[in-house]
Structure 1
Amino acid sequence: MGTLEALLTGSRYEDITTRPRHAATLKFSDDGAQGVLTVTDEFTSALATTTDDQIRAVAHPWSQTEEFWGLADPADLTELLQDLRDLAVRATQHQHHLYCWTSL
């Protein structure tokens, strides 16, 4: 999510990757197919305060990144980001962190 964080916050990707909670591994399955990674607090805070207009503005450039091979639908990403924002709002209200579960 470093690329998305860069787009959303205006921070340099290189700076984001040095943050302590950027994709720090908490647990991975023995075969490496599933795992849980940390999400930076800066990203959580930025998501929690992002407006719908800002989400729509970020969805298009994010859809063009190599993460999606340039083929993602910005409308789908907008919905995803709105859901992530709602989760980030709840997390910040309870002083919790966000985590990313991955599965290959």
Structure 2
Amino acid sequence: MGVLFDYFIATDDGAAAAIIDRDGGPGSLPTVVDAGFDPLVQATTLEELLTGQAYDDISDQIGWGRVVASREGGERTVVVVSSGLVDALASADDTTLAAAMVPWVRTEEFWGAADPDELLQVVRDLAALAQEAKRTNQTVYCWTCV
């Protein structure tokens, strides 16, 4: 059984929470489907690599990992993505994103099973989503489904 991580943008927590009961998740909203990494540990490690800020400092910030909706004992959740990661992704150029991939996939959370080139394309898509969120004054969320 796998875990799906769909990153999407929505106008507010209420709109994001409303997708929790939709079959297939965010669906019609701007989405990066099945990104392959979680919005907490792995995303925070990416933020650490992109910003140079320490992991513990990022995860200690107010609102980090805030769940806006949860069902079935946490088997489906919607979590707010760190604004620091959104800012870093929205402002990063392709060289910066590419430089972060190899050290990122070498972290223990990827279990040696991630391809940096494949992950780079996902991160590029997520960066475009972050740019759209900033441009339209929306928030990035992650829908997780076990």
TM-score by length of 1: 0.93
Query: C-alpha displacement at 1:30, in angstroms?
Result: 2.4
| Distance in 1 separating the partners of 2:81 and 2:63 | 6
Q: Counterpart of 2:144 in structure 1: which amino acid?
A: T
Residues in 2 aligned to 1:21 and 1:48: alpha-carbon distance in whole angstroms: 20
- The alignment status of 1:90 with 2:132, answered yes or no, reads yes
Name stretches of at least 5 consecutive residues in structure 2 with no aligned partner. 1-42
Which residue in 2 is equivalent to 1:102?
144
Quick one: which amino acid aligns to residue 59 of structure 1?
M
Counterpart code for 2:56? E
Percent of aligned pairs with the same residue? 38
Alignment correspondent of 1:27: 69
Separation of aligned partners in 1, 2:109 and 2:145:
15
Unaligned runs of 5+ in 1: none
If asked which structure has higher relative contact order (CA below 8 Å, sep 6+), I would say 2
RMSD (CA atoms): 1.1
Q: Which residue of 2 aligns with 1:65?
A: 107
Question: What CA distance in whole angstroms lies between the structure 2 residues aligned with 1:43 and 1:21?
Answer: 13
Tell me the distance in 2 between the aligned counterparts of 1:48 and 1:58. Answer: 15
Q: Which has the higher strand share?
A: 2
Deviations 1:31-56 (A, max 9, x none): 32110111121211110011111111
Q: How many residues align?
A: 104
Offset, 1:98? 0.8
TM-score (norm 2): 0.68
Q: What pairs with 1:9-48 in structure 2 (closer than 5 Å)?
A: 9-48=51-90
